[in-house]
Structure 1
Amino acid sequence: MLVLLDQPSQKKQLAPFISGTNGHVVMGGVLVGLQRGRVYADQLFAPKSALIWAKNEMFYLIGRSDNAHFNGLVRELLVQELLPEALDAGEDMLNLEVYPEPGSDWSPVLHHMFNGRLQEGLRVPFQFNLAKYEQWLQRSSSSLFVPPGYVVQVIDRAVMLEDKSRIIEQEILKFWHSVEDFFQYGAGTCTVYEGQVVGTCISVFLRGIHHETGINTYDPIHRGKGLATAMASAYVQSVLERNCVPHWTTEDFRHDSIAIAGKLGFDQGRAYPVYYMPIQEFLDC
């Protein structure tokens, strides 16, 4: 069976695998134990291959791809434990990224592991550019507003207490082990309309000073009004006030998200593959 790495010293062994990767903030948050997820490896010491599950976000296969015993156990673990748990938690799509050791190729492994049913998409990473953000802020300071009736707020304990629907708490606990951890290390903003939280923008994963952004306007009726841009701008400011760095990653078909990142001074990087399929389809095959 695969080895569950649940101690910081054990998970630290995987740090060299993720250095410089597109998903390092997400994986890093799981490895240091701030965000919810699990880490499995082929062996306890000096692992050569590993599976990282960042809950409500992504699965990652890292390291050597020619580890046949490990590969077979990954499929078994996904089918018997992890994907049913993900379904119960409200996830319906398996999303997967791979980071091979140099000279390895996960493509044939994935084809076999998922019976050739994985679809391939593209993820778009962004790198924050402070100078561009400050220029945008100067240009938009007089025009950045939200429609009447909407209020953008920084998430603090008082704002959370006012959220009777507990949307903010639910969003935080999708990713963080506790609300206390979020208030100590994370940052976030929300939009309120007639006393109801209709959108959030929070740190969903965190590694060191690096914050991965998660943004959501929950009901389509509130979209297209500039709320996401206003929330994201306030969120970026909050992250910067902590002397930290915001990160932004999205899918290539999320044109609104790409546009917002561009407005806020993020430089778009090269898109890279992400693999996906409905969880239930995989469990049924």
Structure 2
Amino acid sequence: MLVLLNQPSQRNQLAPFISGTNGHVVMGGVLAGLQCGHVYADHLHAPKSALIWAKNEMFYLIGRSDNEQFNRLVRQVLVQELLPEALSAGEDMLNLEVYPEPGSDWSSVLHHMFNGRLREGLRIPFQFNLAKYGQWLERSSSSLFMPPGYELQVIDRAVMVDDKIGIIEHEILKFWHSLEDFIQYGAGTCTVYEGQVVGTCISVFVSGIHHETGINTYDPIHRGKGLATAMASAYVQFVLERNCVPHWTTEDFRHDSIAIAGKLGFEQGTAYPVYYMPIQELLDCE
């Protein structure tokens, strides 16, 4: 059976597997126990392969790909435990990335594990460039004012209390174990319109000084007005004031997200594959 690694001390054994991925923020946050997720490995001590689920974000297969017993049990754990939990939490898509150790290749394993049903897309990572962000601020500071009726706020306890519907709390707890953890380690901004939160930009995962960005304008009626850019810019400033580093990753078809990242001084890196499949479709195959 796969071993569930509950303690950060146990999960820290997996740190070398992600050290070549710029300390991967999402996996790092889950391994540290800050953000919600589950970690399974082939062995409690000196694991060679692992499955990491970052809730509401991504599944990851890391390490050796030729671990046949591990590979067989991964599908079982996914189908019997993790995917039903993800479905009940509102996720409808299995999204999967792989990080093999040198010399390993997950391609044939994935084909067999999911009966050739996985689709393949592309994710685009960005690296923050402080100088370019400063240049953009100088050019664009006058255009960051919110449209009439909208207010940009930094998320703190008082703002959460004023959010009577609980939109901010709901967004934070999709990723974080508690609001207190977020207040202590995370950062965020929001847009308020007529007393209601209509958009948020928050640290969805934090690993050390690295913050992965999650941004959302909830109702299409509020989009196309520059709200996301303003929230993201204020969020980046807040992260920098904490002497931390903002990160941005998105899918290749999210053109608005790519454009905002580019405005704010994030430099586009090389796209890499992400595998996906509707959860219900996978469960129906069983």
- Aligned counterparts of 2:130 and 2:18: Cα–Cα separation in 1: 25
Aligned residue identity for 2:76:
E
Deviation string, structure 1 residues 129-163 (Cα, Å, up to 9, x no partner)? 00000010011111222210011110011110000
Say if 1:210 and 1:244, in contact at 8 Å, map to a contact too: yes
Output the CA distance in 2 between the equivalents of 1:103 and 1:68. 16
Q: For structure 1, which runs of at least 5 residues remain unmatched after alignment?
A: none
Distance of 1:20 and 1:243 partners within structure 2:
23
Q: CA RMSD in A?
A: 0.8
Structure 2 partner of 1:39: 39
Q: How many angstroms apart in 2 are the aligned matches of 1:17 and 1:167? A: 35
* Residue in structure 2 matched with residue 284 of structure 1 by the alignment: 284
SS in 2 for 1:123: strand
**Once the two structures are superposed, what CA deviation does each residue of 1:170-197 show, in whole Å capped at 9, x if it has no partner?**
0000000000000000000000011110
Greater shift, 15-24 or 270-279, is seen at 15-24
Provide the C-alpha distance between the structure 2 equivalents of 1:85 and 1:186, rounded to a whole number of angstroms. 25
**Residue 87 of structure 2 corresponds to residue 87 of structure 1:** yes
2:239 maps to what in 1?
239
Q: Distance in 2 between matches of 1:137 and 1:257?
A: 18
Pair 1:73 & 2:73 matched = yes
Please state whether the residue corresponding to 2:137 is helix, strand or coil: helix
Q: Which amino acid aligns with 1:279?
A: I
Q: In the alignment, is the contact (CA less than 8 A) between 1:65 and 1:104 conserved in 2?
A: yes
Aligned-partner Cα distance in 1 for 2:245–2:24 = 13
Which residue of structure 1 aligns with residue 166 of structure 2? 166
How far residue 23 of structure 1 moved from its aligned partner, in angstroms, is 7.5
Q: Distance in 2 between matches of 1:23 and 1:193?
A: 37
8 A contact 1:25–1:212 mirrored in 2: yes
| TM-score, normalised relative to structure 1 | 0.99
Instruction: Please show how residues 38-187 of structure 1 align to structure 2 within 5 Å.
Output: 38-187=38-187
Which 4+ runs in 1 deviate beyond 4 A? Answer: none
Q: Does the residue aligned with 2:75 lie in a helix, a strand or coil?
A: helix
Q: Does 1:2 align with 2:2?
A: yes
User: What residue in structure 1 maps to residue 251 of structure 2?
Assistant: 251
Q: What is the alpha-carbon distance in structure 1 between the residues aligned to residue 53 and residue 279 of structure 2?
A: 14
Name stretches of at least 5 consecutive residues in structure 2 with no aligned partner.
Answer: none
Count residues with an aligned counterpart: 285
